[in-house]
């Protein structure tokens, strides 16, 4: 646990959360409470339940609600060749949640740009999916922020989960090295990368498809700020579709789960969109 005090970090998040920041900070410093996720898997996988909620928010083809709806049925209502994209998939927990709910007509592309993280992702999929489910999942390594510019790829996917690289303040505040290096430029830099990823993901989405944008960031700049930019850029083509879960707090464009009020879960921000 970090003993370093970064005054710029403290001032930034106090400005966002006010008097709440003190107890939120305490929540971030405490150990999280991960759970074993087992539904539809060969072996349980341990992850934060907030991550399960984010992945379950994705509306799979053939399901009216999120992934929980798909688990209740919907097979046979998808089009041939329906594909799902987990755009930044490592370490793999959310890919497992998605794969666990897929019927045989769906395929998942679990994408990760980093070669090292991609190897770890493949190991997780191999270890936790049975042979049939594993055959439905392909691992790839393209730059998801650039893929949307390729005309041949636009409109390819029926559902996309983008769990974007983010400030990950829970990790930062528990690391001497990362906390000492933090500056207010970090959220601004990451928000630009997140926007490139989200805009690209929207172009990759089919009409009528579901897009979930998630981060483990506290900063509104990386959360609602990026969601708002998507709605402004694409106008009526981008439709806000509120997540179904009730945990956490409503924001302008989604929901955020924070550890001080959610039993140690999170942080996890989730916004959901569909494409007209």
Residue 63: closest CA among 204, 206, 159, 160: 159
Active-site positions read 216
**What number of other Cβ atoms are within 10 A of residue 157's Cβ?**
23
Task: Please give the Cα distance from 190 to 186 (Å, whole number).
Answer: 6
- Can you give the length of the chain in residues? 276
Q: What are the tokens at 96?
A: 């497992």
Kindly write down the DSSP assignment for every residue of the chain, as one continuous string. ------HHHHHHHHHHHGGGHHHHHHHHHSPP--EEE-TT-SS-EEE-HHHHHHHHTS--TT-SSSHHHHHT--TT-SPTT-EEEETT-TT-HHHHHHHHH--TT-EEEEE-S-HHHHHHHHHHHHHHS-HHHHTTEEEE---HHHHTT-GGGTT-EEEEEEE-----HHHHHT-HHHHHH--THHHHHHHHHHHHHHHHHHHHEEEEEEEEEEE----TTTTHHHHHHHHHHHGGGEEE---S--SSEE-SSSEEE-TTTTTT---EEEEEEEE-
């Amino acid at each position: 646990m970090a003993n370093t005090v970064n005054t710029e970090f403290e001032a930034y998040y106090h400005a966002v959360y006010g008097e709440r920041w003190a107890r939120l900070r305490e929540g971030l410093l405490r150990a999280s409470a991960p759970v074993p996720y087992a539904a539809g898997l060969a072996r349980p996988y341990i992850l934060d339940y907030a991550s399960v909620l984010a992945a379950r928010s994705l509306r799979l083809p053939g399901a009216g609600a999120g992934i929980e709806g798909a688990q209740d049925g919907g097979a046979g209502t998808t089009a041939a060749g329906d594909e799902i994209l987990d755009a930044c998939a490592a370490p793999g927990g959310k890919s497992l949640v998605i794969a666990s709910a897929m019927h045989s007509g769906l395929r998942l592309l679990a994408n990760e740009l980093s070669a090292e993280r991609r190897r770890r992702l493949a190991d997780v999929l191999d270890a936790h999916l049975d042979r049939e489910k594993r055959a439905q999942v392909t691992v790839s390594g393209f730059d998801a922020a650039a893929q949307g510019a390729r005309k041949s790829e636009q409109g390819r996917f029926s559902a996309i989960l983008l769990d974007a690289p983010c400030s990950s303040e829970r990790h930062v505040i528990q690391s001497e090295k990362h906390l000492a290096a933090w500056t207010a430029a970090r959220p601004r830099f990451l928000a630009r990368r997140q926007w490139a990823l989200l805009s690209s993901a929207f172009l990759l989405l089919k009409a009528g498809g579901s897009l979930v944008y998630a981060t483990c960031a506290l900063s509104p700049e990386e959360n609602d700020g990026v969601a708002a930019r998507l709605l402004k850029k694409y106008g009526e083509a981008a439709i806000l579709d509120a997540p179904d879960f009730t945990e956490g707090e409503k924001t302008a464009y989604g929901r955020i789960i924070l550890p001080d009020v959610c039993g140690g879960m999170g942080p996890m921000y989730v916004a959901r969109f569909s494409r007209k």
